[in-house]
A and B are shown apart, each in its own frame.
Chain A
């Protein structure tokens, strides 16, 4: 070490940091790979059409995820149609209309903080407001509203980031040509940023479908032998079904849980794939 030049020392540090960086990257990847391998090894052979269309059952071999899957699809859909307009609307307001006052920056800090609130807290809020005060009971609607609250901060923040990325020269040009503020947003800013906005929304919703705690608090059930047919129906979702199976004494249920996890993972990957696809598609399209 002593008879090294400064340049040599720096190079050594450089390399050491590179190795450290690679190790960090692979640490996460390897753990993920082990997890996925483990799950797939246990659960893959259990997945067949019957598993998807069967109702829950005490016999592990006969049990399926139909009602849980349908519950998840409903929750996904309702959460999306509630959170999308509100989140994007709030994002547009804060970014385009809101004045940079003290009040606005306070609001901003609060929204960022809300994104870090543990999900169970949202569950308790949902239980009190939607289930009890609004009288929605343990329904899909109450669950979706709760999850919407949970992901709103994420959507707002990502919408704002996407809007920020639109060059101000475009907005200025639009206004200079006589367009009103709303025309500028609707015809220029939003189309240019929609890829980013949608990515944020889809990633936020992917997070929502993995949530269990707030839904259990709101009153999602464990055994529901029918698929919901309206937003006021009671429901169960995939993560609850998985949790329920994992905690059974019989090992066959662990296999079911693994199989259900694979399907939930596929669901999430699919949604992330859609997000990436739309981002690329819209990014390519934008030519000024």
Chain B
């Protein structure tokens, strides 16, 4: 009998310890609110693209210092997954690395949700090869299409099929997985149809895997976000893209001024109309637009020019005023 009592008391003790541990930190980080601003409270649920995530996370972090009473949570379900939740009204704001699709729009309408689309930053898609690749100096959009279009599957397997003077060796392709907005965007502008590409390439949702792949494979070719190139400059060779007006290398400048075509894109947040009735959401979005230029730079994206930013602020103001 004694043994049994011991078992039970040990279990209860264990449970108590775990619970105590869990509850001990509920109210640690409470910063003081700035005196001139009204202290807000509430929850703001954000989900969506993993590309936009670093920016939104950073904004949420800064916002917390201003308004510690507002709990902002950010998920990374991907652009498509984020819109699914957004169209059910489960999230207030959706991160997106591409504009909303008609199908997703329809789903929002069905549930009586209207929204506003706000550009928050630019992202360049970089095309990269291995450091030891001596032959590739640039690629034209047509050549990229030749490599990545659906018809290339099982056909374009060697470098000299792209340009005759290039070596008669296999080409190894690396790219983002089909669930990412990055993939959607690339296939849209290069292959002319969203989601259409060859399937026989190494795909990963984790861009670091792509970096690893192309930096260790002399015959590799990859595309992914510019931020990942900038962090791995010593391991990779950047390839300029020619869209008919000369070769342009992606950089903060060429992405911001639009000369790096067609592989630079805006990234967005979408705000739900019902959420925009809440003071804390309005305050958060205004704060977002205010600090996003400096934040984008910090986390490796390209800030949007001031005039376009001003338009977004105006757009959001009108959206809120419409109520």
Q: A residues engaging B (CB < 8 A)?
A: 53, 55-58, 66, 70, 73-74, 76-77, 81, 137-138, 191, 194, 216, 219-229, 234, 244, 246-251, 254, 285
Contacts and interface: CB of A to CB of B under 8 A. Distances in A.
Nearest to A140: B22
Contacts, number: 102
A223 B26 contact: no
Interface string B294-305: 010011100000
B54 A222 contact: no
A244 B206 CA distance: 9
B321 interface: no
Given A58-B298, A249-B300, A221 B74 contact: yes
B57 A247 contact: no
24 contacts: A55-B64, A56-B57, A58-B54, A58-B57, A58-B58, A58-B295, A76-B18, A77-B15, A77-B18, A77-B22, A191-B3, A194-B7, A219-B75, A222-B76, A223-B73, A223-B75, A225-B60, A225-B61, A225-B64, A244-B76, A246-B208, A247-B208, A248-B208, A249-B228
Nearest to A244: B76
Given A225-B72, A247-B50, A249-B300, A77 B57 contact: no
B265 to A, nearest CB: 17
Contact of A223 (B7, B25, B74, B208): B74
Contacts of A247: 50, 205-208
Contact of B22 (A70, A194, A216, A250): A70
B230 interface: yes
A213 B206 CA distance: 15
A249 B207 contact: yes
Nearest to A62: B61
Given A74-B22, A226-B71, A244-B76, A58 B299 contact: yes
Given A226-B71, A251-B231, A53 B76 contact: no
Interface of B: 3-4, 7, 15, 18-19, 21-23, 25-26, 28-29, 45, 47, 50, 53-54, 56-58, 60-61, 64, 71-77, 90, 205-208, 225, 227-228, 230-232, 295, 298-300
A222 B53 contact: yes
Nearest to B229: A249
B75 A53 contact: no
A20 to B, nearest CB: 32
Contact of A73 (B22, B56, B60): B22
Given A57-B61, A194-B7, A222-B74, 8 more contacts: A53-B28, A56-B61, A58-B57, A228-B22, A229-B26, A246-B208, A247-B50, A250-B300
B26 A249 contact: no
Contacts of A224: 73
A53 B26 CA distance: 11
A67 to B, nearest CB: 9
Contacts of A191: 3-4, 7
Contact of B15 (A57, A81, A138): A81
A74 B26 CA distance: 13
A146 to B, nearest CB: 16
Contacts of B207: 247, 249
A222 B207 CA distance: 17
Contacts of B56: 223
